[in-house]
Structure formats: structure tokens, C-alpha cells
Amino acid sequence: MSDGWLELIARADRKITSWPLQATEAIRYIHSKGVVHCDVGIHNFLVQDDGTLALADFGGSRVDGSKSQEAGVPRYKRPTLSRDSDPTEIDDLFSLGMVIYEIKTEQMAYAGKNNGEIRKSLENRRFPDLAPLSPGWRVVVSKCWQEGYNNAEEVLADLNNLSHPDQGRLVISPPPSSLLHYSTRLSAAAVIIVVLWHSLLRR
């Protein structure tokens, strides 16, 4: 995570409490449209003027089973993904777990390690230390890393229960003009662009 990201997290104050949900909702939305991002990471979330997140960079995404055009950043890659395989929704969820970890701890996963060391750690399933997280967040992140979720809807359900265990759902603040409204429009536009791009490639 760059120094710029850490500064943004520090300035965002209470708004970062909804960032994990916003990131997860963006992933849920694109998956519902048949898109696998293939490069989910903190580097591909934009921080808007109001402090909310928006998912970006769909250049290497898969659409309806197409081939991926993106290798991804090592620390966000699921260790069981072979080099000749295309990422799936489960790979996006593994990456989402790393994103949530970095947001909640305000630390870059595997800081100080080079890409080779990171790959080896992941292959040996030596994941980042979960001690800085509260028990509930440890469960969510660990399930992302251990393939404990089948889809982003399940991640959202756990996040809702974690945030409001007595209410069963999360009421997001700020309301509709925030990221969840904006990122849905952004992701919808991105889905259209990705579909058109893959259509051109197949000609």
C-alpha cells in the first residue's frame, strides 16, 4: 500500500468503516453481470471526493468465460490458481480478503517482501497475521483466504451481521449519493466497456 493510500485512510476517518462493504458490493455487482475482475486490489479502488470507493480498471477482466488479459498483483492472487488457469469469482473473493485486511489494518500485506517471497508464502499458505483484526473481521478475511465463500453475497451477509448483528442488515451512511450508488453506475459502464472490448477481440 502506498504512502498516499495510508494518508487517505487517515483522512477518511469514520468513512473507512464502510469501505469493506463498498468494495464487496462492487465485486458482487460485476459478478452478477458475468464479469470477473481478475485484478482486485487496493490499487484498483478509487477514492472519491466524498471519501467513498469505486472499483476501476477492467482492462484484464473476464466476461462470460472469456480469457483473462491480466496477470494480477502477486499478493492478491489465490495460491491454488495455476499459472495457466483463468481467475474465477473465487479468486476475486480471495483478493477481496486482502483488500479488506489492508483497509482494516492500514498496512500493506506482506510488506517488505519481494514478489518471489510473497508467492512462496502464499503457496505455503502463510497468510498475513490476523492478530491486528477483531475476531469478527478475522473470520471474514480468513474465509476469503480459505475459500470459505461461494460468492460475494455471502461476504456481504457476514459484513452486515458483523456491523449490525441485531438488525440483520447494514444501513450505509452517507446515503444513495455515496459510492454504492455511484459505483453501481461506474461498474455498469465498465461492464458494457468490457463486453464491447471482448467482442472486438473475437472479430
pTM of this structure: 0.75
Q: Give tens-digit pLDDT for 1-30.
A: 555 555 655 555 556 778 999 999 999 999
What span, in angstroms and rounded, lies between the C-alpha atoms of 123 and 154?
25
Q: Give tens-digit pLDDT for 97-144.
A: 999 999 999 899 999 999 999 999 999 999 999 999 999 999 999 999
- Structural contact between residues 140 and 158, judged by C-beta atoms closer than 8 angstroms: yes
pLDDT at residue number 195:
42
Active site residue 39: yes
Inform me whether the pLDDT recorded for 39 exceeds 60: yes
Choosing from 3, 39, 84, 91, the catalytic residue is 39
As for how many domains the chain has, the answer is 1
- Residue given cell 469514520 in the structure block: 14
Domain enclosing residue 16, as ranges:
3-202
pLDDT at residue number 89:
95
Q: Give tens-digit pLDDT for 161-192.
A: 887 654 433 333 333 333 334 344 444 445 44
> 147 falls in which pLDDT band (50, 70, 90)?
very high
What lies within 8 Å, CB to CB, of 191 at 6+ separation is 30, 33, 35, 58, 63
3-state secondary structure of 22: helix
Query: Which DSSP letter does residue 178 get?
Result: S
Give me the CATH number covering residue 159. 1.10.510.10
Query: Which DSSP letter does residue 169 get?
Result: S
pLDDT at residue number 4:
59
3-state secondary structure of 162: helix
